Structure 1
Amino acid sequence: MALIRIERSSPLPVEEVWRRLTHWERHAAHVPLTRITVTTPPPTRLGTVFVARTGLGPVGFDDPMEIVRWEPPAPGGSGRCRLEKRGTVVVGWAEIEVAARDTGSRIVWREDLRVRRLPRLFDGLTVRSGRLMFGRAVTGLLAEA
């Protein structure tokens, strides 16, 4: 598996950072050729399932994910969410942590993923491209109004 770690600081309060980072459908605005559909009824909670569909026209793949840990932050506190990726192409997990800081929030996004049938020789490329893609998504989500 390829371990990816992204850290960011934001002047936003922890509750707003959490809201932005866990609005799953909005992630698609920052990931090329991807749309996201939440398949379970709101609100987001333990057991929520959503699917990221990446592709162009009929050619693509689904990346289904389930929330297996859901700990929203208390005001001024911290929160953590863990997703398990259960697709036929991409497997692994992702964790989003947010913590309040004096001047806003600190974000740590960790992702451990593997692309099925892709040799481990390509893990370095997976890490670099994942860092770029997920980093762009986090930055974009935090910048949204």
Structure 2
Amino acid sequence: MPAIRIVHRTSAPAPEAWSRLTDWQRHGAQVPLTRTIIETEPPTRVGTVFTARTGVAGITFDDRMEVTVWRPPAGASAGLARLEKRGRAVTGWAEIEIRPLSVGGSEVHWREELHLRGFPRLLDPLVAAAGRLLFGRAVVRLLRP
């Protein structure tokens, strides 16, 4: 499985960064040709399920995810959300960790391991590079007010 690791510093305090990065509905707007479908009632918690559906003209694939860890940042403690990818086309996991910084702001650690069914392992480096580019841009955009 390709491993994707992104570290990004922001001036936003950890609770604000958390709120922006865990707004699942906004995620779809950051990825081309994608929309997010929330399948459970708010608020987000362990067991929340949502799907990122990507495609055009009836040709789509779903990245179905379930929240398995939900620990918002509190005081000086980091926040962590873990998502298990349970789709037919995309499997693996993603973690969003937000660490408060003593100098103000926070640091985002986005970790992801994914597998695209039907893609040979030989293409893992290409998938990882595309993922770093795509998710890196999404982090920056999601952190904007």
SS in 2 for 1:136: helix
Tell me which stretches of 4 or more aligned residues in structure 1 moved more than 2 Å.
none
2:123 corresponding residue in structure 1: 122
Unaligned runs of 5+ in 1: none
- Deviation at 1:75? 3.1
Using the alignment, how far apart are the partners of 1:110 and 1:9 within structure 2?
Answer: 15
Letter in 2 for 1:113: L
1:90-139 CA-partner distances (Å, limit 9, x unpaired): 10000000010022100000000010111110000000000000001001
Are the counterparts in 2 of residues 7 and 106 from structure 1 also a CA contact under 8 Å?
A: yes
| Equivalent residue, structure 2, for 1:87 | 87
Contact 1:55–1:61 (CA under 8 A) maintained in structure 2: yes
C-alpha separation in 2, matches of 1:114 and 1:79: 25
Partner of 2:59: 59
Q: Does residue 134 of the first structure (1) align with residue 135 of the second (2)?
A: yes
CA distance in structure 2 between the partners assigned to 1:81 and 1:100 by the alignment = 15
Q: Which consecutive residues of structure 2, in runs of 5 or more, have no partner in the other structure?
A: none
Which amino acid is 1:123 matched to? D
Task: For residue 76 of structure 1, report the CA deviation from its aligned partner.
Answer: 3.9
Q: Deviations over 1:19-44 (max 9, x none)?
A: 00000010111100000011000100
Native 8 Å contact 1:54 1:62 kept in 2: yes
Per the normalisation by structure 1, the TM-score is: 0.97
Q: What is the aligned partner in structure 1 of residue 96 from structure 2?
A: 96
Mapping for residues 2-81 of structure 1, pairs under 5 Å: 2-81=2-81
Task: Name the count of aligned residue pairs.
Answer: 144
Aligned equivalents of 2:57, 2:45: Cα separation in 1: 31
- Determine if contact 1:72/1:80 at 8 Å carries over to the other structure: yes
Read off the aligned partner of 1:109 and give its amino acid letter: W
TM-score of the pair, normalised by structure 2: 0.97
Q: Quote the Cα distance in structure 2 between the aligned partners of 1:106 and 1:59.
A: 37
Letter in structure 2 aligned against 1:136: R
